[in-house]
Structure 1
């Protein structure tokens, strides 16, 4: 039985850091274990230009505690007014690593997203030309589509047509939540990858709704049926290089989660690596954890893997804090619902 596992230092290929007091509170939770992260641009106002991205990167680096090493990989928020040349210049300078597509109204701070996908085709064509990945929040927002079906419908109605119209466009289906998403990735070529979150490997929709509403398990895309969770776990633990870790760790202060119209998001930065070690051990796949957390993402983004390592050690249950203190209000840490026996050290 394995009690110690050393892997390359992991990266997070989908992370929300917010800004201001929340940024200051949560950044150390990621930087403690992760070397790099793709930073989501859905601030208010959003990060839509290279100038915006440079300013946000500077604020992130200013908030990084002394002695912590961490590289924010910046993204731009795609709008119907995005300038393809600004995108290309930001990419050429090394400032941005990807562009993020939010369908308008799909999730937190997505009101500035895309409604008419024809209006961003020129940007997508430029991105295909320069090899810049598109990160996609894969849900339609039509009111008549059931929230549990929105990912599957998006694949058919939006994603597949976009990819067919833009040969060579490299796409990351972010935070997939369905067997449909897993199957679509597996049926396509190496220009398509997918991130899977920590919490979607652990919870299904029963965790949100059975025995009372659990606001800290509510996220978007919402957790689905158990059959979809099982498909995600099989994909994550398979070693398939097209699947990699993107936590979608999404901090909200408790008053914004615990109310009549609570915000979507699970904050998992603090305990993700311990959670993943438990999941991969449960599925007899500890030998695939490094691929999922540390190798597959850099390969897709054409970046080097990290030289540094972390070591996970199995022992007594780890006592993670239930909340992270923040000047704006406490932030609840994701509770996997089972003890975490894997601790992390450098």
Structure 2
């Protein structure tokens, strides 16, 4: 039985850091284990210009623990008014690594997202021309579509038409939750990949709803049926280069999670690597953990893999059930199973 596993230091290709006091409280939990992360731009107001991305990056760098070598990879929030020239300049300078598409109203702080996709066609064409990837929150917001079907409908109504209109555009389907999305990624011969979260490898919709509502398991896209969770696990642990880690770690205070209309998000930054080691061992795929966490993402984004390493040892970790922030406690995701691996 393997007692120790050393891999190249991982990256997180989908991360929420928030801002201000919350940023300073949660950032060390990612910077401890991860070398880089794609930073989500859905602040209030959102990060829509190069100048705003630079200012946000400066705040992140100022919040890093002393001696940390963590690198934030910045993104712009796509709106119907995004300036292609400003976006291209931010990319050319090395400031931004991707642009994020939120359908308007799809998730937390997404009110500024896209409602009319025809209006962003010139931006998408420019992105394809300069090789700037598009990260997508893959859900439609049509109220007539069941929440458990919104990812599959997004593929048919939005994503497939975009990819057919802009075949050179590099797309990442973020936080996929269905076998439909897995199959769609596998059907593409180029320019399509997907991130999978830690929590979607662990929970299905029963974890949220059975025996009482569990708000700390509520996220968007919402967890689906067990067959979809199993499809995600098979994809993540397969070694297929089109699938890689994006935790979508999303801190909310307990007070905001427990409201009558509570916030969506699971805070997985502190314990992701221990949970993933457990999942991959359960699937007899520890030899593919490095690909999922450390190789596939940089390869798709065209970035070098990390030279530094991270070691996991077979020992029960001791994670807190919450972290304290000046805004209130934030509950750490509970995988509801014993963990047997810790980061050394």
| Contact 1:318 1:339 (8 Å CA) reproduced | no
1:245 aligned residue: 245
Partners of 1:167 and 1:212 in 2: CA distance? 45
Deviation per CA, 1:252-311, whole angstroms, max 9, x where unpaired?
011000121110000000000000000000000000000000000000000000000000
Q: Helix, strand or coil for the counterpart of 1:82?
A: coil
2:14 aligned residue: 14
For residues 302-341 of structure 1, the aligned pairs below 5 Å read 302-315=302-315, 317-341=316-340
Partners of 1:291 and 1:190 in 2: CA distance? 18
Partners of 1:213 and 1:71 in 2: CA distance? 37
For residues 136-215 of structure 1, the aligned pairs below 5 Å read 136-215=136-215
1:64 aligned residue: 64
* 1:190 Cα deviation after fit: 2.5
Mapped pair 1:342 → 2:336: no
Mapped pair 1:89 → 2:89: yes
Partners of 1:96 and 1:231 in 2: CA distance? 32
* 1:226 Cα deviation after fit: 0.1
Partners of 1:91 and 1:309 in 2: CA distance? 28
Paired residue total: 344
* Mean CA deviation greater in 234-243 or 253-262: 253-262
1:228 aligned residue: 228
Partners of 2:342 and 2:178 in 1: CA distance? 30
Q: Helix, strand or coil for the counterpart of 2:213?
A: coil
Q: Helix, strand or coil for the counterpart of 2:189?
A: coil
1:267 aligned residue: 267
| Contact 1:216 1:257 (8 Å CA) reproduced | yes
Partners of 1:221 and 1:266 in 2: CA distance? 11
TM (norm. structure 2) is: 1.00
Q: Helix, strand or coil for the counterpart of 2:97?
A: strand
1:130 aligned residue: 130
Partners of 1:208 and 1:46 in 2: CA distance? 29
Q: Helix, strand or coil for the counterpart of 1:114?
A: coil
Tell me, which stretches of 5 or more residues in structure 2 are unaligned?
none
Q: Helix, strand or coil for the counterpart of 2:135?
A: strand
Superposed CA RMSD in Å reads 0.5
**Dislocated runs of 4+, deviation >4 Å:** none
For residues 280-295 of structure 1, the aligned pairs below 5 Å read 280-295=280-295
TM (norm. structure 1) is: 0.99
Partners of 1:18 and 1:297 in 2: CA distance? 23
Q: Helix, strand or coil for the counterpart of 2:148?
A: helix
Partners of 1:95 and 1:14 in 2: CA distance? 17
* 1:151 Cα deviation after fit: 0.0
Partners of 1:235 and 1:313 in 2: CA distance? 24
Mapped pair 1:73 → 2:95: no
| Contact 1:190 1:242 (8 Å CA) reproduced | no
2:31 aligned residue: 31
Mapped pair 1:2 → 2:2: yes
Partners of 2:149 and 2:337 in 1: CA distance? 29
